[in-house]
Amino acid sequence: MSIKVGAASQELSAAYAAVTREPAGIVWNKVCVSLKRELGDAAFGSWIAPAVLRETQAGDVVLVTPTGIARDWIRRSAWRRIGELWAAGDAVGRRLDLKSRLEFEASADAASATTGAVYVEAKPQPIEIVLPVSSDVVTAPAPVAGKASPVQGLQERFTFDSFVPGPANEFAHAVARRVASWADGHFNPVLFHGPYGFGKTHLLNALAWEAMRAAPNKRVVYLTAERFLSTFVRAVMDRQTTAFKDELRGADLLIIDDVHFIAGKQSSQEELFHTLTALVEDGRRVVFSADRPPSAMTEMDARLRSHLSAGLVCGMEPADRSLRLGILERKIEALGRAQGFTGTVKPEVLQFLADRFTDSVRELEGALNTLTARAGERLSRLSLDEVQAILRPHLRGGEKRITIDDIQKATSEHYGMKQADLLSERRNRAIARPRQAAMWLAKQLTTRSLPDIGRRFGGRDHTTVLHAVRRIEALRQDDAVLSQDLETITRKLRG
């Protein structure tokens, strides 16, 4: 610390700061507690927990990540929030910097050579970390700055180039490519169905990107069924349904992801039915994805169900071992290209991952992301033992997977209301409180991120979800009825 002689007030405030200043490690610990709650165990465990805080006597504090990948993830996805939490927690206003280990070592050497500053580790107190099996925060990249997606909701990395075909999805892949080429198709609509996390959204995104590339003048509209529902409900309330209809019916290619979500929602089903028939009659293409074939959508209106089956219904199977290996190799190569390392891993590691993470490709990818966050460019040198140690917390398994749709159904049933009310804009307490409870349950019982939960609750912002989670957290301490409600719904969901 350098204090100029005669600068009495500065000297006093510096002395005061020295007395009141909490060790950086304690401040960081508090930041971590909030971050863990807001980001979820999965993202926190993968990206934040491995970082180490370093500080000098002079009060320079640096958060050092083990790899450049982890630094970039934090900068993109959490740095602004970390800044806010740090500023709120650090009474003396120390500046917090972010560096990868390599960057830090280079700069620390330079600083020590010129000023003699020495960085020491500012140890946070331990906090409980549960490593992820997978997380949307981990798997979904933030959009690249300055490259806003031309179609809302499309992810840039989901292209045909990054999609790996195999026996489980070969037919679906060929059909998607054909639709994207605008070739005359006998089959309209096309519906892809398959289990959770095996590439339906990826395929639909790839189809949309390719169709836009192949015919830039055509209008491609992509939306999730949740967005269809929430936009439609909002349009009805604002008396804007004509604009909504025009928007969709003006599409040359309309793509709706997760259409099963609309099952049982009467007016939205009806609207979708009319949109679908109008587009098909007019020779426009329509593509859907769903988690099951139309014949199994028992809650879906029979007329809509029959129109969904009227074109081509194309099943996708869970990826077999060879496809899982192929996907892993492709993802590792891409990571290597992006980060400048060899992009290979030991064969026994590949096989271990492909054999142990079989529930969905999303989970397989989550495991790979965790390894990358931990090891960075050392990924290719990791031994099987090291990999098993890093992933041990993922391998517990056994628990029933609960989806946000399950939570919405159970919550609305418990409170005697419609699932659509939870997604609606209505704010009266009888609806708003169950909605907040459902968001809280989604945070507790799934690995979904706050933005993802918001999207699935009628396209709400992640700050709304955060507010709901905090509100319910506070209320349930004193409100025995609410606390009992949450327990009952959780028990029911866990089966």
Ligand X SMILES: Nc1ncnc2c1ncn2[C@@H]1O[C@H](COP(=O)(O)OP(=O)(O)OP(=O)(O)O)[C@@H](O)[C@H]1O
Q: Does 262 bind ligand X (CB under 6 A)?
A: no
3-class secondary-structure state, position 313? strand
Q: Which residues between 435 and 464 bind ligand X (CB under 6 A)?
A: none
CB of 260: closest distance to ligand X in angstroms? 9
The span from the CA of 44 to the CA of 140, in Å, is: 14
Segment near ligand X (CB under 6 A), from 195-203, 414-422, 423-431, 483-491? 195-203
- Residue (25 or 195) nearer to ligand X, CB: 195
In 3D, which of 388, 391, 372 has the Cα closest to residue 380?
Answer: 372
**Do the annotations mark residue 197 as ligand-binding?**
yes
Segment near ligand X (CB under 6 A), from 121-129, 230-238, 361-369, 405-413? 361-369
User: What does the per-residue mask of binding to ligand X show for 266-295, with x meaning CB under 6 A?
Assistant: -------------------------x----
The span from the CA of 100 to the CA of 93, in Å, is: 23
Q: Which residues between 75 and 104 bind ligand X (CB under 6 A)?
A: none
Entry field: residues in the chain: 495
- Residue (291 or 377) nearer to ligand X, CB: 291
Q: What's the one-letter identity of residue 245?
A: K
Q: How is residue 142 annotated by DSSP?
A: P
Q: Which residues contact 103 (CB under 8 A, 6 or more apart)?
A: 68, 71
Among 139, 230, 370, 412, binds ligand X (CB under 6 A): 139
Among 29, 65, 169, 231, binds ligand X (CB under 6 A): 169
User: What does the per-residue mask of binding to ligand X show for 50-69, with x meaning CB under 6 A?
Assistant: --------------------
Segment near ligand X (CB under 6 A), from 20-28, 193-201, 238-246, 417-425? 193-201
* Per-residue b or e along 247-271, where b marks 16 or more CB atoms closer than 10 Å to that residue's CB: bbeebbbbbbbbbbbbbbbeebbeb
In 3D, which of 381, 308, 330, 393 has the Cα closest to residue 131?
Answer: 393
Structural tokens at position 41: 């165990």
Q: What's the one-letter identity of residue 388?
A: Q
How far the first Cα of the chain sits from its last, in Å, is: 60
- Residue (362 or 443) nearer to ligand X, CB: 362
CB of 479: closest distance to ligand X in angstroms? 33
In 3D, which of 90, 99, 36 has the Cα closest to residue 64?
Answer: 99
- Residue (162 or 380) nearer to ligand X, CB: 162
Q: What's the one-letter identity of residue 261?
A: F
3-class secondary-structure state, position 94? coil
CB of 378: closest distance to ligand X in angstroms? 23
CB of 365: closest distance to ligand X in angstroms? 5
Among 82, 164, 251, 335, binds ligand X (CB under 6 A): 164
Annotate 395-437 with DSSP letters as a single string: G---SPP--HHHHHHHHHHHTT--HHHHHS---SHHHHHHHHH
Number of C-beta neighbours around residue 395 at 10 A: 12
- Residue (365 or 485) nearer to ligand X, CB: 365
In 3D, which of 55, 74, 78 has the Cα closest to residue 66?
Answer: 74
CB of 66: closest distance to ligand X in angstroms? 23
Which residue, judged by CB position, is nearest to ligand X in the bound state?
A: 199
Q: Does 341 bind ligand X (CB under 6 A)?
A: no
Among 361, 375, 431, 439, binds ligand X (CB under 6 A): 361
- Residue (176 or 482) nearer to ligand X, CB: 176
CB of 102: closest distance to ligand X in angstroms? 28
Q: Which residues between 198 and 217 bind ligand X (CB under 6 A)?
A: 198-202
- Residue (124 or 458) nearer to ligand X, CB: 458
**Vertex 110 angle, CA 108 and 112, to 5°:** 65
Q: Does 197 bind ligand X (CB under 6 A)?
A: yes
Identify any residues that bridge with 313 across adjacent strands, giving them in sequence order: 191
Structural tokens at position 11: 């000297």
- Residue (28 or 158) nearer to ligand X, CB: 158
Segment near ligand X (CB under 6 A), from 79-87, 158-166, 229-237, 302-310? 158-166
Segment near ligand X (CB under 6 A), from 27-35, 156-164, 415-423, 440-448? 156-164
Q: How many residues bind ligand X (CB under 6 A)?
A: 20
- In the block, tokens 């200043």 appear at 21
Q: What's the one-letter identity of residue 82?
A: I
Provide the angle, in degrees to the nearest 10, between the axes of the packed helices 480-494 and 404-414: 130
- Residue (199 or 376) nearer to ligand X, CB: 199
- In the block, tokens 């019916």 appear at 249
- Residue (51 or 164) nearer to ligand X, CB: 164
Omega before residue 126 within 30° of 0, cis: no
Structural tokens at position 27: 């401040």
Residue set of the binding site for ATP: 197, 199-201
Which parts of this chain interact with ligand X (CB under 6 A)? 139, 158, 162-164, 169, 194, 196-202, 258, 291, 327, 361-362, 365
Residue set of the binding site: 197, 199-201
